Structure 1
Amino acid sequence: MDPLRLVETTPGKFSLLLDAGTTQVDEVIGQLGHEPNGYFWEGIAQFLVSSQAPALEGRLSYDPEAGMFCAYGDDRAALQELAALMSAVATDGERMRGLVESATAGGFEFDD
């Protein structure tokens, strides 16, 4: 799940966190014209859900900040599935490049 972490904030409530600006793909994100902040990572999460895991739609919420990505909810399994999808992208520059290029070509706009 690296570089993401899943924490139980209160009994039955979970947050999936990523410290923005600390991933292996930050340089690639910059080369693609984006800032590797929490809002960019929210866009990555939304695009992954819509394109690769539509069953996650509506099972979690987002609350990013400039320095941190956060998805939260009471569905631990949904957050774990999102973590697996995001981890694969956050640790592989070519995967990140392909995902951003695919999203942009499809008209998706990142809010970073």
Structure 2
Amino acid sequence: MTAMRLIETTPGKFSLLLDAGTTDVDDLVEQLGHEPNGYFWEGVAQFLVSTESPALAERFSYDPEGGMFCAYSEDQTALQKLAALMTPLTTDADRMRKLITSAKASGFEFDD
């Protein structure tokens, strides 16, 4: 089961959700000095989009909370692509460590 889920909130409107604090990498995120909350995961999404898939930028919006990451859009395909980028990071500690290290090296700051 994946931590990410894509739902249709109303006809033609979609949300990509992740319940913060439920991933396999939460302990690592904390060890690396971050709070694995919804705002941290927004930063993960922003960094991934900027570095790996800039074509996704502006195709969805973010609305995280402390306990939940949320991206929303009428563009279901864009959210599916974002989920494909983010899902491996919810379970792969090595990938998460590399992302946080790369983000720090580039000057990116997570808003957690």
What TM-score comes out, normalization by structure 1 length?
0.98
Shift of 1:52: 0.3
Number of residues paired by the alignment? 112
1:48-63 equivalence runs, <5 A:
48-63=48-63
Which residue does the alignment assign to 1:23?
23
Which residue does the alignment assign to 1:69?
69
1:33-44 equivalence runs, <5 A:
33-44=33-44
Which residue does the alignment assign to 1:84?
84
Distance 1:82 1:109 in 2: 20
Shift of 1:2: 1.1
Which residue does the alignment assign to 1:3?
3
Distance 1:49 1:88 in 2: 14
Shift of 1:91: 1.0
Shift of 1:73: 0.4
Gaps of at least 5 residues in structure 2 are none
Distance 1:91 1:82 in 2: 16
Deviation per residue, 1:42-82 (Å, 9 max, x gap): 00000000000000000000000000000000000000000
Which residue does the alignment assign to 1:105?
105
Across the aligned residues of Structure 1 and Structure 2, the Cα RMSD in angstroms comes to 0.8
Gaps of at least 5 residues in structure 1 are none
Distance 2:28 2:80 in 1: 25
Distance 2:31 2:94 in 1: 12
Shift of 1:22: 0.4
